[in-house]
Structure formats: structure tokens, C-alpha cells
């Protein structure tokens, strides 16, 4: 299994200048190729592939206007054309939107090198067009005998430099069968609530730095728009605070998802429509800070790594209103109700724990019936009825 290992590094002034020049050339080539492919399709209904754009790149390098493209390594430029080809493949397969032009200010600054564009020996990484190796902080060891197939260099909005090495990791392999099945209910009061009754606290990273962030944003707003040094300095200050928040959030999510995947064979979650939920002005900030979409993404790819199963239950399944003891369905339950008592059997429920238990039971029913991981929205009512009957049948 190939896995990317990301490290921070500190370039010299010459290396930073070379990399920034490479980022600009990568962006220029990508935009030129996108414009050429768009023009060919609009005017002649002609599809231009990677080979054609690669030939265009050779011609561009020979012109006086674009002669500076010869000053950087050719490998990242060719990789930019391959990335554009991948973007168009996704568009024509209706998996993605039409590719967009890269912006100097907003687009991610990165360059990808294949094996012909770098040298990795004895823990020292040297990129093409550079005489000295990068000063990489090896915060964790690479797999023994690792030979990177690609190296991606990037700079984030806070000005930090990162290098990502893609290589085979023999440690990524299916774990032994755990047998445990757990329901996971995502929330705001608690980040996660498990069907076992355990609750994972919500760190609320954004709230902890909200005052510092607001002050930095006010300072940025007072700076005149343009390319001035003062505005760039204020922008980097805001970006550093955002980076601090996202780093802490990602660290917590990695630890939680890794533990859940290692301890459980099957994990049942709810198929939340996070994009629609963010339209709620009162909860949008808290939902964004909880990062439910990132949590699900981590859980799914780690489950694929280690041979686990993730089941997503339809978002219309009434997990909070359904009694996990007797199956009685409550008609309404506002978000303000955190505990409730079933009128049929008298069982007292914690809202989140009850939802997690119902998700677990529904996941077992889905797995037993061979239903899809994501039930379709149009059949949600019929699916809820059938699922509810199966959940009740499986209760002791």
C-alpha cells in the first residue's frame, strides 16, 4: 500500500527562490494548457489530450515570451499537464466540475517531482536544479528501505514549507478480526458519542483562538488592498492562526479515528449532509469546527487500509427519536432536548447515546440484509420502515 509521509522543511533563500519560481511556472503551464484545451473544444469541438499539451509545452519553451520555463525543472511542468488530464477525465466522467484556472493568490502552491526529478539517498533529499539537499525535519521515520516514487513540495498560506514523499508502507495491512461493531453519533456538545456509552469531548479549537483570530482579522482589514508588505504580513498572521487551529483539529481526528478503526471491525455512522447543514447561520461555525466531513474521510480511508467496514446510515433514519429499548418512535424532538423518557417502556435515554445505539442496530440490519452503504434519498421512507422492522426483529 502506497502512503504519503509529510514533513516540514526549511529552505535556504536560494532554494526558496527556486521553488517559488517553479510554483509560478507550474501555474503558468497549467493555465496555458487549460486555455488551449478550452479553446479547441469551444471553437472546433476537439478534445486535446496530454500528449498534445506536452508537445505544446515544447513549443512554448522555444518562444521568447516563455523562455523562462527552461529555467526550472521540466518534471513539475509535465506533472502539471498530467494533473490537468486527470481533471478533464473526471469532468467527462461527470465526477467533477470543469477545471478552473489557477490563481496566483488563492491557489495552492505546489510542485510534484517524479523519480527523475529528485535524489533520495541516506535520508537526504535533493531536488532537480538544486545543489544542496533540503533541510527536512524527519519528525517520524520512513518505512525501512523506502524508495519514494514521487515527491511533492508545497507552501501553505502561513508561509510554512512541506515535502510529501509517496512510498510503499508495509505496515499498512489488514488487522486481525476484531468482531466489535460500534455506532458513532457525531454532535456538537460532544464530538462523538459511541453506542458503548463513551463520549468524546469536543475540543472546540476555533473557539479557543477566536479572540486572537478576530484581532488579527481586524488588523488585516485595516491594511490597504494591494501587494504591500504590511498587508502580506497581516495576512500571514491570520493564516498562522488558522493553521494552528486546523493542525490541532487534524491531530485530534487522527487519534480518534485510528483508535476506532483498531478497536472495531464495523463502524456505523450517519450519512450527514454537512454542506446543507452549514447553511444554518446559528450552527455553521460550530459545525465547521467539528469537521464531521474530515472525520468521515479519515475513518473511511483508514478502514480500507486495515480491512475494516464503514456503514453510513441514511440521514433520514430517525436515530434520535427511536427508542433503542422497545422501538417506539417519538413524533418530535427539538435539538434542545438532550434526555427523554420513552412513553411506551419508560426507559430514560440520553439523546446521543440512544442515537448511537440505534445506528449500531441499523448498521447490523443493513449488513445482514446486504443493503447498500448509502441508502438512496428517494426511497428513504420505505427504507426507514423496513429498517425499523429489521432493527426491532434483531433486538433481544
Q: Which residues are catalytic?
A: 185, 270, 352
- DSSP codes of every residue in 337-382: --EEE-TTT--EEEHHHHHHHHHHHHHHHHHHHT--SS--GGGHHH
In 57-187, at which residue ranges do the beta strands (DSSP E only) sit?
109-114, 118-121, 124-127, 136-137, 150-155, 161-168, 181-186
Characterize the bridge pairing of strands 309-313 and 266-270. parallel
The residue behind cell 509535465 is 78
329, 321 in Cβ contact below 8 A? yes
Q: How would DSSP label each residue in 277-289?
A: HTT-TTTHHHHHH
> Containing H/E element for 296?
helix 292-306
Nearest to 316 by CA among 359, 363, 380, 267: 380
The separation between the first and the last C-alpha atoms of the chain, rounded to the nearest angstrom, is: 41
The total of other beta-carbon atoms located within 10 Å of residue 46's CB is: 11
Of 293, 288, 320, 272, give the one whose Cα is nearest residue 188.
Answer: 288
Task: Give burial (CB, 10 Å; 0-12/13-18/19+) of 382.
Answer: exposed
CA dist 9 and 43 (Å) reads 46
For residue 113, the tally of other CB atoms under 10 A from its CB is 21
Instruction: State the CB neighbour count (10 A cutoff) for residue 123.
Output: 10
Distance CA 305, CA 254 (A): 14
Alpha-carbon distance 127 to 134, whole Å?
A: 8
Amino acid at each position: 500500500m502506497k502512503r504519503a509521509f509529510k514533513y516540514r522543511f526549511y529552505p535556504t533563500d536560494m532554494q526558496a527562490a527556486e521553488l517559488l519560481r517553479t510554483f509560478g511556472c507550474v501555474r503558468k503551464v497549467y493555465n496555458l494548457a487549460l486555455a488551449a484545451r478550452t479553446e479547441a473544444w469551444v471553437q472546433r469541438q476537439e478534445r486535446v489530450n496530454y500528449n498534445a499539451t506536452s508537445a505544446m509545452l515544447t513549443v512554448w519553451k522555444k518562444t521568447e515570451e516563455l523562455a523562462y520555463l527552461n529555467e526550472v525543472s521540466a518534471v513539475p511542468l509535465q506533472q502539471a499537464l498530467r494533473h490537468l488530464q486527470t481533471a478533464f477525465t473526471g469532468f467527462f466522467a461527470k465526477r467533477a466540475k470543469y477545471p478552473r484556472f489557477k490563481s496566483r493568490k488563492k491557489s495552492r502552491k505546489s510542485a510534484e517531482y517524479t523519480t527523475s526529478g529528485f535524489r533520495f539517498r541516506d535520508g537526504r533529499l535533493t531536488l532537480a536544479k538544486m545543489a544542496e539537499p533540503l533541510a527536512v525535519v524527519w519528525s517520524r521515520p520512513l518505512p525501512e528501505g523506502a524508495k519514494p516514487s514521487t515527491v511533492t513540495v508545497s507552501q501553505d498560506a502561513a508561509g510554512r514549507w512541506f515535502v510529501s514523499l509517496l512510498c510503499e508502507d508495509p505496515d499498512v495491512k489488514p488487522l486481525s478480526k476484531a468482531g466489535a461493531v460500534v455506532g458513532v453519533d457525531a454532535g456538537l456538545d460532544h464530538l462523538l458519542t459511541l453506542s458503548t456509552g463513551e463520549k468524546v469531548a469536543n475540543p472546540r479549537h476555533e473557539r479557543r483562538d477566536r479572540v486572537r483570530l478576530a484581532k488579527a482579522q481586524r488588523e488585516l482589514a485595516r491594511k490597504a488592498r494591494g501587494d504591500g508588505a504590511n498587508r502580506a504580513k497581516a495576512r500571514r498572521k491570520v493564516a498562522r492562526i488558522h493553521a494552528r487551529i486546523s493542525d490541532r483539529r487534524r491531530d485530534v481526528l487522527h487519534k480518534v479515528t485510528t483508535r476506532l478503526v483498531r478497536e472495531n471491525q464495523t463502524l456505523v455512522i450517519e450519512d450527514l449532509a454537512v454542506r446543507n447543514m452549514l447553511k444554518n447561520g446559528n450552527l455553521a461555525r460550530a459545525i465547521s469546527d467539528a469537521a464531521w466531513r474530515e472525520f468521515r474521510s479519515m475513518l473511511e480511508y483508514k478502514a480500507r487500509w486495515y480491512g475494516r467496514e464503514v456503514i453510513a446510515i441514511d440521514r433520514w433514519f430517525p436515530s434520535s427519536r427511536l427508542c433503542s429499548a422497545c422501538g417506539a418512535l417519538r413524533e418530535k424532538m427539538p435539538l434542545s432536548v438532550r434526555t427523554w423518557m420513552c412513553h411506551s417502556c419508560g426507559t430514560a435515554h440520553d439523546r446521543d447515546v440512544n442515537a448511537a445505539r440505534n445506528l449500531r442496530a441499523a448498521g447490523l440490519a443493513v449488513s445482514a440484509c446486504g443493503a447498500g452503504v448509502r441508502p438512496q434519498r428517494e426511497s428513504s421512507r420505505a427504507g426507514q420502515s423496513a429498517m425499523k422492522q429489521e432493527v426491532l426483529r434483531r433486538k433481544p
